[in-house]
């Protein structure tokens, strides 16, 4: 896993998550808002597809995950990522919604509208 990394492992992961939410966040948060789910699982394949190696310096998103420090993992927890597994991640929906603006900054997307959609669905 040698290479020139332009971001921290956590930032590479958050960039992929941000791009995922920009594309899939409407359906994800709409459904969780209706069902009242507290956590949701996102398959890693969805993040792998959005990982940009040339932007982060990590050839594979798995490389960034393997290189994460305790500080990186704690940073992700503060943003709502409960668990990162080999096949999927588990996300605390409420915490994620609270932090959408910050997460959006990792890929220069405005994700605040997703929070409003989620809250409307929850009633």
Token representation of residue 93: 């929906």
**Residue 3 predicted with pLDDT over 80:** no
CA distance 73 to 109: 23
Domain that holds residue 82: 9-122
Is 1 domain-assigned?
no
For 40-91, how does the pLDDT look when each residue is reduced to its tens digit (9 = 90+)? Answer: 999 999 999 999 999 999 999 999 999 999 999 999 999 999 999 999 999 9
Count the domains in the chain.
Answer: 1
Note the helical H segments in the chain. Answer: 9-35, 44-48, 53-56, 61-66, 70-78, 93-98, 100-104, 112-122
Is 77 domain-assigned?
yes
Lowest mean pLDDT among 7-11, 30-34, 79-83, 88-92: 30-34
Is 38 domain-assigned?
yes
pTM recorded for the entire structure: 0.91
Question: Quick count: other Cβ atoms within 10 Å of Cβ 27?
Answer: 10
Is 2 domain-assigned?
no
Token representation of residue 114: 């997703």
Is 87 domain-assigned?
yes
Whether the CB-CB separation of 24 and 110 falls below 8 Å is answered with no
């Amino acid at each position: 896993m040698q290479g020139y990394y332009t971001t921290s492992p956590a930032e590479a992961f958050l960039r992929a998550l941000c791009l995922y939410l920009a594309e899939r966040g409407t359906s994800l948060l709409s459904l969780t808002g209706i069902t009242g789910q507290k956590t949701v699982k996102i398959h890693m394949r969805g993040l792998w597809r959005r990982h940009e190696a040339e932007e982060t310096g990590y050839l594979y998103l798995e490389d960034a995950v393997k290189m994460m420090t305790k500080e990186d993992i704690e940073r992700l927890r503060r943003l709502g990522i409960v668990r990162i597994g080999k096949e999927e991640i588990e996300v605390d929906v409420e915490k994620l919604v609270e932090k959408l603006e910050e997460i959006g900054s990792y890929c220069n997307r405005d994700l605040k509208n997703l929070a409003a959609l989620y809250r409307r669905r929850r009633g």
